[in-house]
Amino acid sequence: MQFGGMDKMVIVGPGAIGLYYGTKLLQSGLPVAWLASSGNADWAQSGLTLHLRKGAGGEAKSLHFDNVQVTDDPHAMGPIDWLVITTKSTGNAALGSRLKPMVEVGKTRLLTLQNGMGNAEWLHELVPQNPVMAGLCFVCANRIAPGVVENYHPGRVEIGSFEDRWPEDAIAACRLFENAGIKVNHAPKLLQALWRKLCWNIPFNGLSVALGGLTTDKILADPAGKARVEGLMREVQQLAAVEGVAIDDAFLQSQVDVTYRMGAYRPSSLVDFEAGRPLELEAIWGEPLQRARQHGIDCPLLEQLYGKLSTADGHR
């Protein structure tokens, strides 16, 4: 089976992001397979289910697919056209050896849908001869069981290429997502897209854990919590400006406004923390903080948040 001249896409990681976008792409007619970790591939027997809800706890419209292709053996996949990485960035160091059997040098296109900074750089170092892209997912989705994902807000995806080197490939990726009914934009300047995504991820993912397991609605309902959100956003705005990325105040306000509409949403970092999984500490908070130090920029709220998250992650 072929789609748009490409005969195979493999999604690495059947978590919330991998399941949600993979289901949408599969529904569009694209042949999609999943690479799961060892011992986490048996959900193929029960199929793949996506619950589409209007807000957390809302009424669901469900999609189900049987005969889903899932394996924990990358050698069974062979060289492929599209390799989409949706695992947590905390596992990148151990993931490289599992990706290489699926990569055809100079042909396979790699797209990371991971949070934070440094993921595209890691992929480029791993396969320097292949096109590397990164996608920023503005979406509310949680995996509630193996092969089962809930979506509360469809949001959008922004896709750009590493150092803006492969715009044609990024646009091709956008077409795949658009054909699947996913709202998507090409990001001609990937660095700009990354900083804009951190305007949400740094405060809401971080504070949901640091404040003791709060959903986004509770963070915003508390005046002190909302003030910390806005303060962290301002620090990200300042950092981005030093790196040549202008983020206006209207964008920051839009991130707050859309979060109100999410309702009682549990950010992915809170889900990971409560499940005993490590936080994506360096990709989301550590790398931006390191850049702040390199530029001589004082970010006291980010420094404090990074410290609290480091302690929480280490104690667990």
Q: Which residues are catalytic?
A: 197
- Cα separations (Å) of 53 from 86, 98, 311? 22, 34, 35
Interhelix angle 190-200/249-262, nearest 10 degrees: 50
Six-digit token pair at 305? 């948040």
Separation of alpha carbons 247 and 261, rounded Å: 22
Separation of alpha carbons 160 and 134, rounded Å: 6
- Under 8 Å between Cβ of 108 and 79: yes
- Under 8 Å between Cβ of 149 and 164: no
Smallest CA-to-CA distance from 9 within 175, 156, 194, 147 is with 175
Smallest CA-to-CA distance from 195 within 160, 254, 246 is with 246
**Three-state DSSP class for 156?**
strand
- Under 8 Å between Cβ of 109 and 84: no
**Three-state DSSP class for 298?**
coil
